[in-house]
Amino acid sequence: MNYDSEFRLADFICGSVRQPGVSTVKMINLSSFIAYHARRTPERCALKYRGHEISYSAFDTRIRKTGGWLASRDVKAGDVVAVLMKNSAAFLDIAFATSHIGAVFLPINFRLSRDEVAYIVENSGARILIVDDELASNAGGPAPVVLIDEATQHDATRLAPDAAPAPLHHVQPGDLMRLMYTSGTTDRPKGVMLTYDNIYWKSADQTIALGLSRDTRLLVVGPLYHVGALDLPGIAVLWHGGMLCIHRNFDAEETIAAIAAEKLTGAWFAPVMTSSILALPHRDRYDVSSLQWAIGGGEKTPESRIRAFSDYFTNGRYIDAYGLTETCGGDTFMETGFEIDKIGSTGRAIAHVEIEIRDDAGHAVAAGEPGEICLRGPKITKGYWKDPDKTAAAFFDDWFRSGDVGYLDADGFLYLTDRKKDIIISGGENIASSEVERVIYELPQVSEVAVIGVPDARWGERPVAVIALAGGAALDLAALTEHCRARLASFKVPKQMILRDSLPRNPSGKVLKRVLRAELEGIADG
């Protein structure tokens, strides 16, 4: 398919008109569809935050006035607006206002250190940094800082109540809408460039895959700086005139209480969130029958967790998924009816994404053969901000290289094997850490596990299992070894076990193995 052809689905989606001799599409700012719903159903609820409902009409006004405030701070089209904020209504006011004036939105992980924030602000060239006051100590970099207090977190127009509403600055499909810096699981964070084309195509595909409509009521408990909350499928829900119920932080009981009270129909959960909900002792006191689906992902979901989810959310479907920051998330979704038959898979590619598995030379491999997961389609980034070398290295021609290892079965279902850098090489043999982790997860004593390689004078590397035990459980290396030897080749069996209270994870639920490796650098060769 030629994604640069004269006719673009985005033209149809956005309701724009292509005039003879004019090659650009306008009226695709994020504020455009909010204004559309504000005209048609002004009193319909767009956002709910801490008990306050914000109608589409009110949201439209807030976007325009917040845009006026940004303009008064000398923010112009193409400038980068960075935010270091937890979830709030103001977060979305600012995100949509930034788009309204044609600027570029940059949400920053609020868990980062001051030095990490400073790197991102400087690297991006941010014109302004807007920060929740509770995060002020983490604000770094050369951009001027504006602090947001608790009252303003409810309504960004408090920044300048008398600001004149900003006019719409028309953007084009290939214009940069957002910068998203990678979590840095393997390297220094890189600025992923996401365009309006990327955002609208992903919204179209999520509409098809999830059946989104104006009746979709989405729970937002993941951090909005992350694609899981903002894009999977947050923006697409507002595109249809649905509702977002925003929680500032995740709390398991508050989450299911909100599902019951607000009759929420969809959610995105990091794996640790799902586990926390299913572990609640009094969860049955809440009516969660409204929930139709919840998107998971970040790691292969054990069958036991999928069954436990279905037992509790009796009308809900657990949707394993695979996606990347570079693709706006959600490249595959598990399809209805295949959850158990295809256990271990993250589903099949969505409508406008192609997936191929390729070897190190960039050649496609056959079904069932492992290799690097490569993707192409109109929702995939055009590259990394100010980094042509890493951009070039990230592609085989027009195929984006995910850095993940997996395979496609004969039916096109994707199975993750590992990160390329998570392959342990011991005595010349490759060990996929996820394979060992899957076996260890079979032990009922284990709550979380990560298998990593540490240097070994004899073998080059040896596998070490870092484990968080379930409450009150006990496990020793001998029992772990016996269990693994019955299921794995001997060279794959962990030679050491380290117990921790929990494992470090990024917002999407992926274990930060680089953190564990750094902590274990002092382990002597054995």
Please write the tens of the pLDDT for every residue from 466-494: 999 998 899 999 999 999 988 887 888 99
- Whether 187 shows a pLDDT value over 80: the answer reads no
Nearest to 368 by CA among 426, 427, 408: 408
Residue 271 lies in a domain: no
pLDDT at residue 182, as a whole number: 83
- Whether 185 shows a pLDDT value over 70: the answer reads no
Considering only 13-17, 72-76, 201-205, which range has the smallest mean pLDDT? 13-17
Q: Residues 386-408: what's their mean pLDDT?
A: 94
CA atoms within 13 A on the CB side of 358: 19
435: CB partners within 8 A, 6+ apart = 417, 488, 492
Nearest to 489 by CA among 444, 429, 445, 434: 429
β-bridge mates for residue 468, sequence order: 448, 500
Q: What is the domain-level CATH number for residue 468?
A: 3.30.300.30
Residue 246 lies in a domain: no
- Whether 350 shows a pLDDT value over 70: the answer reads yes
Percent of the chain at pLDDT exceeding 70: 90
- Angle between helix axes 433-440 and 477-485 (nearest 10 degrees) is 110
Rounded Cα gap, residues 496 and 516, in angstroms: 14
22: CB partners within 8 A, 6+ apart = none
pLDDT at residue 16, as a whole number: 43
Rounded Cα gap, residues 121 and 129, in angstroms: 8
Please provide the average confidence, as pLDDT, over all residues in the chain: 89
Confidence band for 111, pLDDT divided at 50, 70 and 90: confident
- Whether 500 shows a pLDDT value over 70: the answer reads yes
342: CB partners within 8 A, 6+ apart = 334, 409, 411, 413
pLDDT at residue 186, as a whole number: 52
Q: Residues 145-169: what's their mean pLDDT?
A: 96
Residue pair 29/10 in contact (Cβ under 8 Å)? The answer is no
pLDDT at residue 526, as a whole number: 44
Residue 493 lies in a domain: yes
Q: Tens digits of per-residue pLDDT, 236-280?
A: 999 999 999 999 999 999 999 999 999 999 999 988 788 889 999
Give, for 227, the enclosing helix (H) or strand (E). Answer: helix 227-229
Rounded to 5°, the CA angle 490-494-498 comes to 165
Residue 28: count other Cβ atoms within 10 Å of its Cβ: 25
Q: Residues 394-402: what's their mean pLDDT?
A: 95
Residue 458 lies in a domain: yes
Residue 449 lies in a domain: yes
Rounded Cα gap, residues 342 and 144, in angstroms: 51
Residue 508 lies in a domain: yes
pLDDT at residue 18, as a whole number: 46
Confidence band for 378, pLDDT divided at 50, 70 and 90: very high
Q: Which domain holds residue 507?
A: 427-519
β-bridge mates for residue 242, sequence order: none
Residue 440 lies in a domain: yes
- Whether 370 shows a pLDDT value over 90: the answer reads yes
Alpha helices in 279-380 (DSSP H): 303-312
Q: Residues 510-515: what's their mean pLDDT?
A: 84
Q: Residues 183-208: what's their mean pLDDT?
A: 86
Q: Would the CA dihedral through 326, 75, 31, 154 be positive or negative?
A: positive
Provide the domain count of the chain. 1
Q: What is the DSSP letter of 175?
A: S
The backbone torsions φ and ψ at residue 106, rounded to the nearest 5 degrees and listed phi first, read: -130, 95
Structure tokens at 44: 């319909």
Confidence band for 6, pLDDT divided at 50, 70 and 90: very low
Confidence band for 13, pLDDT divided at 50, 70 and 90: very low
Q: Where are the beta strands (DSSP E) in 5-114?
A: 45-49, 52-55, 80-84, 104-107
Confidence band for 299, pLDDT divided at 50, 70 and 90: low
Residue 60 lies in a domain: no
Q: Residues 367-388: what's their mean pLDDT?
A: 96
Q: Between these two residues, 136 and 112, which has the higher pLDDT value?
A: 136
